[in-house]
């Protein structure tokens, strides 16, 4: 398997201190990986880079409805250096592959203002990565549910 920029299949992502990859890095890595099996492995490794979600955050309030797998997304309101309100997201899933999809959604949306979140077309981003045609309809519905949940959080950031 060819190694993508910033991607090393032999590494142990859980042991790394690197933060979640940026969406630009994810796009570049996806473009570099030729084989969908390699891309699936990369997705699974992305899931290992998620900021840990505390056990108490695995609850009905943070659970994303509409996903076949269990998915939890927690929102924290913060302020950036300019004093603007930004939303920071953490997520988890009981599925390794879905954790990778959560990682992509978080790379797209976390630490952005509510206005930036609402202006981001995540479905197009997932489509550009080629995920739409390589996910089951149930997983695609789950991705839409995650995006809808994050967008709903952006409408009510308090």
Q: DSSP secondary-structure letter at 156? A: S
The residue count for the chain: 158
**Residues facing residue 92 across a β-bridge:** 72
DSSP string, 7-41: --TTS-GGG--PPPPPHHHHHHHHHH--SHHHHHH
Q: How many CB atoms lie within 10 A of CB 107?
A: 22
Catalytic residue among 20, 53, 67, 147: 67
Reduced to 3 states (helix: H, G, I; strand: E, B; else coil), residue 95 is coil
- Per the annotation, the verdict on 67 as an active-site residue is yes
Of residues 104, 98, 23, the one with CA closest to residue 63: 98
Give the C-alpha distances (Å, rounded to integers) separating 48 from 7, 19, 77, 102, 113.
Answer: 13, 11, 24, 11, 25
Catalytic residues: 67
């Amino acid at each position: 398997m060819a190694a993508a920029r910033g991607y090393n299949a032999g590494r142990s992502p859980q042991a790394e201190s690197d933060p979640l990859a940026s969406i630009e890095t994810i796009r570049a890595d996806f473009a570099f990986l030729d084989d969908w099996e390699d891309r699936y492995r990369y997705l699974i490794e992305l899931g290992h880079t998620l900021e840990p979600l505390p056990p108490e955050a695995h609850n009905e309030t943070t659970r994303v409805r509409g996903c076949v797998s269990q998915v939890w997304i927690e929102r924290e309101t913060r302020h950036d250096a300019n004093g603007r309100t930004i939303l920071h997201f953490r997520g988890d899933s009981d599925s390794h592959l879905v954790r990778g999809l959560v990682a992509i959604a978080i790379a797209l949306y976390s630490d952005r203002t509510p206005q930036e979140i609402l202006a981001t077309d995540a479905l197009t981003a997932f489509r550009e990565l080629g995920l739409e045609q390589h996910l089951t309809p149930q997983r695609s519905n789950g991705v839409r549910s995650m995006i809808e949940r994050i967008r709903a959080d952006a409408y009510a950031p308090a």
